[in-house]
A and B are shown apart, each in its own frame.
Chain A
Amino acid sequence: MRNILFALLALLSLLACEKTIQLDVQQLEAILIVEGNVSNQYQQHGVKLTKSRPFGSTGKAPTVSGALVLVKDDANHEFRFVEKEPGWYVSEQAFAGMSGRTYTLIIEADGKSYQATEKMNSIVTQDSLSYRIDEEEMKDPADSARFYEVLLYVKEPQETEDYYLFNFYRNGKLENDEGRTIYFSEDKLLNGRVDGLPFPIYYAKEDEAKIEIYNISRNAFRFYSDLAANLGNDGGMFSGQPANVYTNLSGGARGYFLVAPVASASLKVAR
């Protein structure tokens, strides 16, 4: 459907004009925004706490310091988080999330408590990469040296219902179209064989290409699909009515506590 909306906007842009306006909207009390992640990687996991702010505000989101942050699993493990930077909490100990276990994030901030619970899936895909020169792009590259296409090969199991989130990196830097596009997918239309699907970004010689594939829950899929709809909404004219993004946090906070295993593949282009 994103294709359709894109096409629609392309059509409208032939006829429509637009201008920036100031919104005169009521100011609401700031709420807690949570960005938490537990993966299957053995590492210190992080939780970021910020506050929502007025639509027209400038600058980074205000951080929330001095909160109590804790993750528990359903096997009676408890992981305490400490504030490493203002609003950025990491687990005291490194740990790896285990498939099949349920993790609960508990936050106490400004006298209120918030919770989110999510179960860790298993890694189900096997991925590999290759690269090739995109002849068309080489003729007229958007970025002078970048005309290598990196291709993804995946075997996707057909018997399970799976949801995926993709992150694309160039030389260690996340390159999801300057933060404008979220790459996520469900598997209901896939036939299980992905043979050479090009990355959405181009690479130069010697670049390191990397993809991360998270096997996320249906709830997380909903969160990302809502987020994409929230970012790409046209005001409710042809797209659905603008709405808040799904959250798995209770207590009036927004954001998401993502618990998902990650598989990654990387290669050095044209070495």
Chain B
Amino acid sequence: MPKTQAKADPKTQYTLSGYIKDAASAEELLYVNVWVEPLKTGATSNTYGFYSLTLAAGTYQLTFSYLGYQSITKEIVLNRDTEYNIELQADAQTLQEVEISDKKADHAVREIAMSRLDVPIQQVKKLPALLGEPDIIKTIQTLPGVTSAGEGTSSFYVRGGAADQNLILIDEAPVYDVSHLFGLFSVFNADILKSAELYKGGIPTKYGGRLSSLLEVTTKDGNARQLEGAGSVSTLAAKASLEGPIVKDKASFIVAARRSYVDLLMSQIPDLDGTSVKFHDLNGKVNWKINNNNRFFVSAYTGRDVMRFDDDFQMDWGNKTTSVRWNHLFNERLFANTTLVYSDFDYALEQTDALEGFRWEANQKEYSLKQDFTWFPSPKFTLQFGYQGTYRQFQPGDIQPNGENTIFKPTTLQARYALDQALYLGAEQKISARLAIQYGVRFSLFQNLGPETIYRYNNASDNVNYIVSDSIRYKKGQTIASFANPEPRFAARYQLNASSALKFSYNRMVQYIHLISNSTVPIPFNTWSPSSPYLKPQKADQVAIGYFKNLDENTWEFSAEAYYKTSQNITEFADNANIFFNEHIATEFRQGKATSYGLELLLRRNVGDLRGFVSYTLSKTDVRIPTVNNDQIFPANYDRRHSFNLSMTYDLSPRWSIGGNFTYASGRPITLPTGKYSFGNYEANLYSGRNGYRLPDFHRMDIAATYEPGKNKDRRWKNSWVFGIYNVYNRQNPFSIYTRTKQDDEGNVIGDGTEKEARLVYLFSVLPYVTWSFKF
């Protein structure tokens, strides 16, 4: 730290900047509060752990505070531009007597952003998990304002938005399908995650492209001080990770692998000969932090599911993402980040047969360049601006016959291309001690590009009797359709007193790519489509107000938020739409409006022995799509009126901690047959409206206990056990209702074959599990 006796001119401004790290691993810490006395102003570290404060020359007391860490107050004499990196100590559970300093984290109240929730990764690991595999997506599904279609799925629906309206980023790279085993688990291996933040609204101008939410997942950089390893064996999967320095404090790495072993168990069951189900994930990241001015990160993920049935049918799917980032400080006040991103999702279906054998593949790829700047001219004003460009390539289907005597011909659907660009500018301004605002705009430009042949139809919305009247051939790079939109964003915080604030936010979001799925839960065989002459960009406007209050010296956080959101051009499909391998899928598109509103209450405790949250959400989402459901309004597939969640962990002793979940949600809407009719030997269902009925309510309780042997304290090798029970009271929670010809348990038809019955499907009965984990 610089020490100088010379009195600087108090009118001169100097910049204090640096990185905030964890003292043990040298991992940068995100969103750390930096509070400056006597100015009573502050800053927050960004997603790379960087902060910058430009102040008049003088002597200041700086307090660095971060949830789960001991706050540090330092006196700093500022008389020239100063680089000041600081390390924070995690408040170890065993050192309860070391009380955190008087400045506790009051971030939720003080920050301008609202509708943003961080997923406490460490806590997720102590909470009960399906088959012992901790999963952030399952925790996200219990947050206020988020609903799920049912247990065993990895889709989530934010404030009335569809499953494809969430931008899910891992180290800045988008992940298009987060499901393993059709959603039983997500692709995120909890062992390597540093943070996960869900934005339900008030989304910064830096992000766009999805209507409803942003889930920003950041992986660990890897311990830059010492080699560390971790691993676990659960009922479902085994995983291991290794991290450590390459050059101490300068460069480090982390690698992680996870593999399910259901297939190994299944191979023991003779009836399932040739049938297997498996998935794996691989994550890797290296970083090189040359100095404060230049830092590089390379991060990659790949994962895949492979399912084989009876040795002659296979399906597989997976994501590959890579991001390369360069943090550069032009000067202490101008932080720049350059990101190159590659993301690829693909699936394949393969059938082995001499006549009917084929391999069907589809994929989509994107290549992005993001150039982001943050300028910190004063503690009262921060400016973010930048450019993002993405080239997208969609291959909706390619079928290659593989039988020697095949009946099929090789068939490839047209690939589709798009260029997606945006310029953004966002300011954060502290107007007074009480009032702070964020405002800005994102200009997005989307071009659907050739090469492609676009068909013209006599009636494009008739999916049965369409007639192709003409076709236009667009050359490579030629613009087929282009769309431009300003996306204004605004947020304000008014501090009522030290522990409470009122907040407001408005944002417009535009989504240019659409998931082609007409099911409630998307499946990995759904492809995406760019906006085109037949598919308009989706747009949403959301306003939200909130009241935030911290209680008992910031031990408890309470928030109440209400929102109202209208969406235009949300993408739906005609009844019985043929969305697979359809050259004329344009005739199946239907677009319309959605309206959602809701109230979300959250009480959260983030410190001490007892941690967790209790939340309640009241919400309603209605959809109106011309020609669908006879033009009548219907509730969205994932509309649930009430949901209540309780999620807690409690440290009983240094060895034992317990965790529990309770979740309740109103049943989701479902379309049930109101009649039936005979046609030939078939009994078809007759429907009188979409989503006119509801499944029974959903509720479930899970418990878990974590045991850390006492000898862990003195040993480098530490291990722990988690014992849990999923669905403690064995509730048969409804998943779906389907209908069939009435039959007995052996599948023999009862009666004359005209009788039908409705079957309620429920997934998990009471499921105990054990997970063993180790760390060194």
Contacts and interface: CB of A to CB of B under 8 A. Distances in A.
Contacts of A244: 575, 686-687
Contact of A4 (B349, B671, B756): B349
Given A20-B759, A179-B753, A236 B519 contact: yes
Interface string A3-24: 1100110111001111111110
A37 B59 CA distance: 94
Interface string B558-594: 0000000000000001011111110100000000000
B136 to A, nearest CB: 22
B736 A218 contact: no
A243 interface: yes
B315 A7 contact: yes
Given A7-B313, A50-B677, A219-B464, A241 B518 contact: yes
A122 interface: no
Given A3-B351, A11-B277, A236-B671, A179 B682 contact: yes
A58 B751 contact: yes
Nearest to A244: B687
Contacts of B351: 3
A28 B686 CA distance: 10
Given A55-B685, A218-B465, A236 B736 contact: yes
B670 A236 contact: yes
A237 B182 contact: no
Interface stretch (B37-45, B536-544, B651-659, B760-768): B760-768
Interface stretch (A107-115, A125-133, A223-231): A223-231
A126 B737 CA distance: 43
B713 interface: no
29 contacts: A3-B351, A4-B525, A10-B275, A12-B182, A16-B761, A16-B762, A17-B762, A17-B765, A33-B677, A35-B679, A53-B675, A54-B675, A55-B675, A55-B756, A60-B752, A179-B680, A179-B681, A189-B409, A197-B407, A219-B464, A222-B576, A235-B737, A235-B761, A236-B520, A241-B518, A241-B575, A241-B671, A243-B575, A244-B687
Contacts of A35: 678-680
Nearest to B522: A238
Contact of B519 (A53, A57, A219, A240): A240
A7 B687 contact: no
Interface of B: 149-150, 152, 181-182, 184, 275, 277, 307, 309, 313, 315, 349, 351, 355-356, 399, 401, 405-409, 411, 464-465, 518-521, 523, 525, 573, 575-581, 583, 637, 670-688, 690-691, 693, 732, 735-739, 741, 749, 751-765
A254 interface: yes
B346 to A, nearest CB: 15
A254 B686 CA distance: 9
Nearest to B754: A60
Tell me the dominant secondary structure on chain B's binding face. loop
B411 A55 contact: no
The size class of the interface chain A forms with chain B is: 35 or more
Interface string A146-176: 0000000000000000000000000000101
Contact of A243 (B149, B678, B687, B761): B687
A150 to B, nearest CB: 14
A15 B576 contact: no
Contacts of A31: 677, 686
Contact of B576 (A27, A59, A191, A246): A246
Contacts of A246: 464, 576
Contacts of A142: none
A206 to B, nearest CB: 25
Nearest to B181: A11
A225 B675 contact: no
| Across the A-B interface, the 5 shortest Cβ-Cβ residue pairs | A179-B681, A235-B736, A243-B575, A191-B409, A240-B518
Contact of B677 (A176, A218, A225, A255): A255
Contacts of B676: 52-55, 57
A19 B757 CA distance: 10
Given A1-B525, A190-B407, A236-B519, 12 more contacts: A12-B763, A21-B758, A25-B672, A25-B674, A27-B675, A50-B678, A179-B682, A236-B520, A237-B520, A237-B736, A240-B519, A256-B679
